[in-house]
Chain A
């Protein structure tokens, strides 16, 4: 079981001080959060992707490569990569490059993005959201698996004899999760490819999460990837902790009450009751999250949103420390207890290489770029 952090990279005012961090501070804070996550023994750091204020989460592979250079072990991921508005050719190139630079510490979570205007800014239409996710991912899937691709579709210019470079590290594409909150089509997509499915349930009741995960598991089995309980499932969550739960509530309430994503609606208590938000002692967090598998089955990845609601960096780092030292070690033990041997872990680069029968160099050599000798010729002549 993997535990990690995900961030959406929002620039939010701290309501207790009225101070808003600068973009520069927030960008550097993202790096500090990722390094802290590795330091306290977490497995995954994932960044969001946004192309509008108040977010600093554009150019995710730049951020992840910079973090990758300063960490040793942690898996770098996304939450999410916009498969709708980003050219799949660029996704193929950028993340294969990141895979090489970080020696395989990369996976991705595909998402559609729910900000209407972002679509036209990138020449797309939000009403095509599902169709874009389907077509673009189908192309990306091929670009990482076929050295030379001929392709045409509805949403981008056709490709003739195209080779996406660099080829995936060791000939093994990064593992892909598909994230969706409400769309059965995306659970269906994840099941079809035998990819992972991540339900970001942070604003949703478990009854809904259960339905989405249940659909993905059934269809994973339907498409022949193995029994439903071996499908690869991830969940989101968000917590705020103090040794004494009343202190946690007292300290977090002013953030919750006015936060752009939480504020002015349900009370903190109602929200905690209906969503995975847990504000309390580390033991309460352990109890709550250890029980998630009762609803969705044994799962593979749990990501926590820790830098939410305008909390300042020093508190966020403190919270990650608590998570890594007091909560996750216990959760690891609890999740392992009673977990049948046939339930797989989330695939990693090493496990995918092993499953592929070992590493192979996938370099496509174009011998001569002047005479126009193509990768295709090179392959034929090899």
Chain B
């Protein structure tokens, strides 16, 4: 039986084309193949944070999102799984990446499967995924899969299948492993139900009793 899942991709790359977006696409493609193999239809929604950079600053200052930023936030908070990729700047995710997750409600990513990726000039920054990005999503109570994928500049020139035997190596292998963990986790869970506090408010008798 065919089921479907909503997958959001957040890319914080700044250049166009961007290696961050390239990694995000590779992760999404690899996960997509896994979903297809399991008869899961994917509704893929990509959020390029570059397009929302001004609106994110405006949101910080004014306290509310523009219509297009609100759509981007909703694409993420209503997803069944999230692929989030940032360039590593100065030992951590970029400010733009953090700003986006700063304006998402604290509990909006609760129990959401997340696959993390990061890009950088040298592989020396790869642990930023573990020291900076993973704790951010742990704070948000998301479920981050064990493999987080880092792509340094040199990875883009490395062979994906070193000896030509059909078994992927290097970056390709990490992408495949992360995508497999992510797709299995998402497909194995019920689609998320986004809570709407306006639909079912806490009854006032309960608010009074809680005092």
Contacts and interface: CB of A to CB of B under 8 A. Distances in A.
Interface of A: 130-131, 134-135, 138, 153-154, 184-185, 187-189, 191-192, 203-205, 207-208, 211-212, 214-215, 219, 223, 262, 264-266, 270-271, 274-275
Contacts of A192: 204-205
Nearest to A187: B201
B193 interface: no
A34 B6 CA distance: 54
Contact of B198 (A154, A184, A191, A204): A184
Contacts of A271: 62
B67 A188 contact: no
Given A264-B61, A265-B58, A270-B66, A184 B197 contact: yes
The 5 closest A-B pairs by CB, nearest first: A265-B61, A192-B204, A266-B58, A265-B58, A184-B201
Interface string B45-65: 000000000000110111110
A153 B209 CA distance: 11
B166 to A, nearest CB: 52
A49 to B, nearest CB: 20
Contacts of B57: 265
Given A184-B202, A265-B60, 14 more contacts: A135-B211, A185-B201, A191-B204, A192-B204, A203-B62, A203-B64, A204-B64, A211-B198, A219-B201, A223-B204, A262-B62, A265-B62, A266-B66, A271-B62
B99 to A, nearest CB: 13
Listed residue (B62, B67, B70) with the most chain A CB atoms within 10 angstroms of its CB: B62
Contact of A188 (B62, B63, B204, B210): B204
Interface string B173-206: 0000000000000000000000001100111110
B167 interface: no
Dominant secondary structure at the B interface: helix
B64 A215 contact: no
Nearest to B210: A131
A205 B61 contact: no
B66 A203 contact: no
A228 to B, nearest CB: 14
A197 to B, nearest CB: 13
Dominant secondary structure at the A interface: helix
Contacts of A187: 201
Nearest to A192: B204
Given A203-B63, A266-B66, A274-B67, A188 B202 contact: yes
A205 B207 contact: no
Given A265-B57, A271-B62, A138 B208 contact: yes
B105 to A, nearest CB: 10
Given A138-B208, A208-B64, A188 B201 contact: yes
A274 B204 CA distance: 31
Interface of B: 57-58, 60-64, 66-67, 70, 197-198, 201-205, 207-208, 210-211
A212 B196 CA distance: 12
Contacts, number: 63
B201 A134 contact: no
A368 to B, nearest CB: 37
A134 B61 CA distance: 30
A134 B211 CA distance: 8
A264 B54 CA distance: 11
Contacts of B70: 207
A169 B201 CA distance: 35
Contacts of B67: 205, 274
18 contacts: A131-B211, A134-B210, A153-B211, A184-B197, A184-B198, A185-B201, A185-B207, A188-B201, A191-B204, A203-B63, A203-B64, A207-B70, A208-B64, A223-B204, A266-B62, A266-B66, A271-B62, A274-B64
Contacts of A219: 201
B210 to A, nearest CB: 7
A134 B207 contact: yes
A221 to B, nearest CB: 13
A143 to B, nearest CB: 16
A215 B201 contact: yes
B143 to A, nearest CB: 27
Contacts of B205: 192
A203 B203 CA distance: 28
A221 B211 CA distance: 25
Nearest to B54: A266
B50 to A, nearest CB: 18
A108 B44 CA distance: 49
Contacts of A205: 64, 67
